[in-house]
Amino acid sequence: MPSIPHLDIESLRHFDEVIAAGATSMGGWRVQSVDLTGRTAVLLKLSPMGSLFLGCPMEEPAADWVRDGGGLIFPTIPELPFDPYRGRLYDADELYAGLADGYEATPDARIYAWSRQHDERGDISRTLAAALHDHSIADSLHELPDGRPWIGVMGGHGIARTDPTYRSAVLLGRTLARSGLTVATGGGPGAMEAANLGSSLSGYDDAAVASALAMLAGTPSFRPSIADWALSGLAVRQTFPGDGGVSIPTWFYGHEPPNVFASSIAKYFSNALREDVLLSRARGGIIYLPGAAGTVQEIFQAVTPNYYGDQVMQTPMILVGVEHWSRTVPVWDVLDRLAAGRPMASSIHLVDSIEEAVQLICAG
């Protein structure tokens, strides 16, 4: 029996367009988080066999028609500060809505507070809601255009905006974006913010970079005020709009607020899933700026497939900062020993400058 082609519908406008095109059946439809309460008459004219509705409010006659006719409805889940069936990624404007009233008033803060309650209570309904949300984020991430290779940029969240390393990471992100690459980060402050900012400044000159950094210098860290930190970032983004690439943060590290410069924000509840997605998508290579435990975890998570993979499966891994990775956080010796005599030896690099890292990425 031939399979029914799937049709993803993620907005009321798209639903209406499909109806206007003459649809008579909803077989294969995957309707995600669309309010259909005003479309009962339309739904009753369509065959529902093989349809799937995820979190779509509809009037009872329409819901009965879908269920009785062979469709499947996943109901909305009340009392959540997020939509578990959302059909798109986040952006900074959504996560930081209401910031003028303080960070605690924003969706980002309220969702983090909810996740902390979920962790403490172990409520299965909350676990399910988080899993559904993360599945929706993964689906939306998969739908991003796949034309430009992703380059992962990892590094410490504690690097201040006034630190020379921050400026270097900005220039790194700008150079990568100018080379036709998509900058992908873990989405937090510090080195991650700097790389996304650099990508957003790819269309601007050095004077604009200096101006942006000067605007940010007054709030060098997200401590003590996330609101002030985010507001200054939003002001820079408004002054210098551009494509900031992708970020994949997590509410697991709720103390690390998401930076505002990424154009597409795929925020997850599950850190393990978030890490796996970020590292697996960055097939163009991963650049590691100085960092601590989180960055070390990301290094060794990426090392495993390189260690066991053949030459074709290798992902370039470039550690920036000889002193840092050899002595302060001495992981390089371990990597070097693991790589000896294996295809992985050609994929790991230790350099001392951003310029060297870019040359290796672009040469590959």
How many other β-carbons are positioned within 10 Å of the β-carbon of residue 186? Answer: 29
Match 């995957």 to its residue by tokens. Answer: 30
CA nearest 161: which of 229, 99, 245?
A: 229
Q: Which residues of the chain have pLDDT under 70?
A: 1-4, 118-122, 364
Residues 6+ apart with CB under 8 A from 269: 115, 130, 131, 133, 134, 250, 251, 252
Distance CA 157, CA 155 (A): 7
Report pLDDT for 121. Answer: 60
Q: Do residues 35 and 55 lie in contact, with contact meaning Cβ atoms separated by under 8 Å?
A: no
Distance CA 206, CA 198 (A): 11
**Under DSSP, is residue 25 helix (H, G, I), strand (E, B) or coil?**
strand
The CATH number given to 150-363 is 3.40.50.450
Q: Do residues 70 and 48 lie in contact, with contact meaning Cβ atoms separated by under 8 Å?
A: yes
Distance from CA of residue 266 to its chain's centroid? 3
Return the C-alpha torsion angle 163, 167, 172, 175, nearest 10: 180
259 exposed, middle or buried (CB, 10 Å; 0-12, 13-18, 19+)? buried
Report pLDDT for 122. Answer: 63
- What is the separation, in whole angstroms, between the first and last Cα of the chain? 45
Instruction: Name the residue ranges covered by the structural domains of the chain.
Output: 7-74, 92-142, 150-363
Q: Do residues 128 and 260 lie in contact, with contact meaning Cβ atoms separated by under 8 Å?
A: no
DSSP state of 343: G
Report pLDDT for 147. Answer: 78
Distance CA 81, CA 211 (A): 37
Distance CA 84, CA 131 (A): 8
CA nearest 192: which of 242, 230, 247, 144?
A: 247
HEC string of 196-262?
HHHHHCCCCCHHHHHHHHHHHCCCCCCCCCHHHHHHHHHHHHHHCCCCCCEECCEHHHCCCCCCCCC
286 exposed, middle or buried (CB, 10 Å; 0-12, 13-18, 19+)? buried
Half-sphere exposure of 109 (CA within 13 A, CB side): 14
